[in-house]
Amino acid sequence: KAGVTQTPRYLIKTRGQQVTLSCSPISGHRSVSWYQQTPGQGLQFLFEYFSETQRNKGNFPGRFSGRQFSNSRSEMNVSTLELGDSALYLCASSFSASGGNEQFFGPGTRLTVL
Amino acid sequence: QQQVKQSPQSLIVQKGGISIINCAYENTAFDYFPWYQQFPGKGPALLIAIRPDVSEKKEGRFTISFNKSAKQFSLHIMDSQPGDSATYFCGGGSNYKLTFGKGTLLTVNP
């Protein structure tokens, strides 16, 4: 079974631009979560989607948004990029409909904002 | 508010030794406690997890000990190997999200 895939793996953007990251969950998984990983803050929850509905959201500004498609693939968008948005963005998928707790992570997208 | 506190930040163990990483949580709504292992350049990989109605879970060389009254849990790696050198994250799960500790960098010397 293929794992969680994320594209692109690396991105370089400049301040003020926007970026869209993509995630394909493990086949059969309908829950997709997004996390931001930085050396200072560690792994921080962004949001979680199940059946195209956002069920929970972390403490990030509105510049961070996401969506999920009917095939469970998900995208996240960051608008008006800031230097502090440089991070590894991780997507995780889960089979569970009730809690989405057993999460399997992809390799991440490394975003650098210049 | 740091809901999951993990210690130590870094740990050096000799091959064959026992590695112990501790976590404390604040949110009593957590109903799932996983440990993840992350190698450089890779995403975190689920290692082992426990529910709060169980005090201990063992899988191979990895054991989670859970103390609900103290709101603490720990990961024990028996017979540590150089290949175990990685960053380990503990977490608490509830309401469709995981809250992670800051991580422990484990180095196992040969």
Task: Name which of A45, A50, A104 is nearest B46 (Cβ-Cβ).
Answer: A104
Averaged over A47-57, what is the pLDDT?
Answer: 93
Instruction: Name the one residue in this structure whose structure tokens are 């560690």.
Output: A42
Percent of chain B whose predicted confidence (pLDDT) is above 70? 98
In eight-state DSSP terms, residue B83 is G
Give residue B94's pLDDT. Answer: 84
- Distance (Å) from the alpha carbon of B106 to chain A's nearest alpha carbon: 16
- Report the mean per-residue pLDDT for chain B: 95
Q: Does pLDDT of A102 surpass 90?
A: no
Asked if residue B74 lies in contact with residue B23, where contact means CB atoms within 8 angstroms, the answer is yes
Residue A7 has pLDDT above 60, yes or no: yes
Among the partner-chain residues B43, B89, B98, the one whose CB lies closest to the CB of A101 is B98
What are the E-state strand segments in chain A?
Answer: 5-7, 10-13, 19-24, 31-38, 42-50, 53-57, 64-68, 74-78, 87-94, 104-105, 109-113
Residue count of chain A: 114
pLDDT classification of A2: cutoffs 50, 70, 90: confident
Is B103 in Cβ contact with A107 (below 8 Å)? no
Position B10 pLDDT exceeds 90: yes
Q: Is A83 helix (H, G, I), strand (E, B) or coil?
A: helix
